[in-house]
Copies of this chain bind each other. A is one copy, B any other.
Amino acid sequence: MVEQESQHRLTDIFKAAGDPTRRSILTLLAQHGPLRVTDIAAHFDMSLNSVSKHIKVLEGAGLVTRRTEWREHMIELRVEELAHVDRWFRDLRSIWALRLEALDHLLTQETDP
């Protein structure tokens, strides 16, 4: 099912965004544009290795892409991917709104014989 595929994707995105370091990386990329792994790591009090792992998580979630130019890996933010999250929240709110609307309609019927 396509539905499941989408759910899986959403899980990866939320999990990726659920870590403060990874959110910082995303902000950094939004500010500076594509950066090398080393450049990103320089902003954190953490081993390069750990930062590399965080980047892989972001990459796995599709929030970031890697352009490997010779030995440098340029990491770039993929803003488009954020749309998935937007859509999920929007859907949730619309389900919520529809229920309230239906409830309101029901009440109006009852009090308006």
Contacts and interface: CB of A to CB of B under 8 A. Distances in A.
A68 to B, nearest CB: 23
B7 A11 contact: no
A79 B93 CA distance: 7
Interface residues of A, number: 29
Tell which of A30, A88, A93, A103 has the most Cβ of chain B within 10 Å.
A30
A95 interface: yes
Nearest to A18: B14
Contacts of A10: 23
Interface of A: 7, 10-11, 14-15, 17-20, 23, 26-27, 30-33, 77, 79, 82, 85-86, 88-89, 92-93, 95-96, 99, 103
